[in-house]
Amino acid sequence: MSHAATPYAPPPAYVPLQPPHVADLLAQTPRFANALGGSLHEWIVTEVGDGNLNLVFIVRGPLGSLVVKQSLPYVRCVGTSWPLSAQRAFFEYQALEKEYSLVPKHVPEPMLFLPENAAFIMEHLSPHIILRKGLIKGIHYLHLADHMSTFMAETLYKTSDFSTPTEEKRSQVALYSHNHSLCALTEQVIFEEPYESAKNNSWTSPQLDDLAEVLRTDKALRDEILQLRFQFQTNTEALLHGDLHTGSIMVTETETKVIDPEFAFYGPMGFDIGAYIGNLVMAFFSQDGHATPDNDREDYKAYILVQIKETWNLFKAKFVALWTSSALPVYQANRAGNFQDLFMRKLFTDSIRFAAAKTLRRIYGIAHVEDFKAIENNDLRAACERKATLFSIHLLKNTGSITNV
C-alpha cells in the first residue's frame, strides 16, 4: 500500500548546530543581521534549552536578540539511543505560523524555517519566564486565565470542523498526520508506560510504591486510560498544540506566550485543555511543599483553584461566542439546537479526564515536573504527589464519559 509523500525530511548533511554556526546562519540574512545590529563577532550565542528534546540558542547583538531552535534526530534528555524524527521542527514551525496567524498576542513570531538544519528562527521572548517557574515561586498572574482561554478557544475553534470547510480541514489532517513519531511518543509515555513495568518509569520511592502498584494493576483505571488513548488515536477535532503544559508557556505579569508546539497534530480538543489544567492541578498540589514559615501558600492555592475555574469558564464563553458568530451554515447555533450544549459538556469531561492522565504520567512515568521535584524533603514531596494521584484516579473513575457527540 503506498504512502503519501512526507512533506519534509532533514537533508543527509544535517548536523547539530554549534554557537558559531548559529551566528553564521543569521549573518546570511540581512534582516536578521540588522535586527541584531553590530557585526558577527559582537553577537553572543547561548544554548539555553532546558526542555527534553531540542537545542535552543539565544543570539544577542547590540540592537536586539533572536532565538534559533533546532530539532535533533533523537530525544535530547535520553541521547542517541532514543531516535526521534527531526521532521518535528517542520511541524513546530507550521503550527507556530498557524497559531501566530490566529492569536499573535500569545505566540512568539515565527521568522524563518531553515530546512537544511531542521531548525527555525523566532522572536526572542524577554524578560518572559517559564510559567511553571512562576507558579513555583508563587507569583500571581492577573491575566493568565484570560490569555490562556483566548489561546485555546481561538486555536481549537478555528481549526475545527465548526468553522473550516471539510476539504481544507482534511488537507490539514493529511499534513499533520505525518507528525506521527511525536504522537507515538505521547501514546507511549502518557497512555502506556505509567501503567506497565517500564524501565523509563520512576516515582518517589519507597513512599509511593503502593500507588505505582495501583497504576500497574487496577483494571478499571486501565480501562479509563485505554479509552483516552483510543480517543487520542482516532479523533481529529482540531489542530492541537500537543504539549500544552506550564513549561510550554512563557509569561511576564502582563503577557502570556505559548511556545513549543512540536507535538502539533489533529486530535481531541480535551487533550490540550487537559494538559494545561492538569499542570495547574500539579501546581496546586505541590504548593504545600513550597510553604515557608512566612508564607503558608494558602492564598496561592486559592489563586490556582480560581485559575482552573476561570480558565474553563472563559474558554467556554469564548468558544461558544466564536461558534455563534462564525460557524459554517450547518453548525450554526440556531440550527445546532442541543448539539452545542452536548458538545461543550463532553469537552469538559474529556478535559478533566485528560488532565488526570497528564498528572499521573508526571508522577510515575518518564519526565517529572519541577513543581514536585523542587520539594527537597522526599516525604513532603511524596505527600503532595499522593494527593495529586488520588485526586486524578478519582476523576478518571467518576467522570462517566458522555458517549454521544
Ligand X SMILES: Nc1ncnc2c1ncn2[C@@H]1O[C@H](COP(=O)(O)OP(=O)(O)O)[C@@H](O)[C@H]1O
Q: How far apart are the first and last CA of the chain?
A: 32
Among 4, 13, 41, 376, binds a second copy (CB under 8 A): 4
Query: What is the rounded distance in angstroms from the CA atom of residue 345 to the CA atom of residue 353?
Result: 13
Give the three-state DSSP class for 288.
Answer: helix
Query: What is the rounded distance in angstroms from the CA atom of residue 381 to the CA atom of residue 398?
Result: 26
Q: Which stretch binds a second copy (CB under 8 A): 50-58, 74-82, 168-176, 361-369?
A: 168-176
Instruction: Determine if 350 is a binding residue for Mg ion (CB under 5 A).
Output: no
Q: Which is nearer to ligand X, 257 or 381 (CB)?
A: 257
Among 10, 26, 51, 270, binds ligand X (CB under 6 A): 51
Under 8 Å between Cβ of 281 and 245? no
Least distance in Å: CB of 175 to ligand X? 20
Least distance in Å: CB of 226 to a second copy? 5
**Cell matching residue 224:** 479509563
Residues 6+ apart with CB under 8 A from 253: 139, 141, 142
**Cell matching residue 17:** 548546530
Quick note: the x/- pattern for a second copy over 217-246, rule CB under 8 A, is --xx-xx--xx-xxx-xxxxx---------
Least distance in Å: CB of 193 to a second copy? 10
Least distance in Å: CB of 301 to a second copy? 32
Least distance in Å: CB of 159 to Mg ion? 20
Q: Which of 117, 13, 11, 33 is nearest to 69 (CA)?
A: 117
Q: Which stretch binds Mg ion (CB under 5 A): 50-58, 73-81, 114-122, 330-338?
A: 50-58
Instruction: Determine if 260 is a binding residue for Mg ion (CB under 5 A).
Output: yes
Residue 127: asked if its preceding bond is cis (omega within 30°), the reply is: yes
Under 8 Å between Cβ of 235 and 268? yes
Say which residue the cell 542517541 belongs to: 80
Q: Which of 62, 63, 74, 58 is nearest to 16 (CA)?
A: 74
Instruction: Determine if 72 is a binding residue for ligand X (CB under 6 A).
Output: no
Q: What is the dihedral of CA 325, 327, 331, 337, to 10 degrees?
A: -10
**Residues near ligand X (CB under 6 A):** 48-54, 56, 67, 69, 108, 122-125, 130, 248, 259-260, 262
**Residues near a second copy (CB under 8 A):** 1-5, 7, 94, 97-98, 101, 161, 165-167, 169-175, 177-178, 180-181, 183-184, 187, 191-192, 219-220, 222-223, 226-227, 229-231, 233-237, 330-331, 335-339, 342-343, 346, 400, 403-405
**Residues near Mg ion (CB under 5 A):** 51, 53, 247, 260, 262
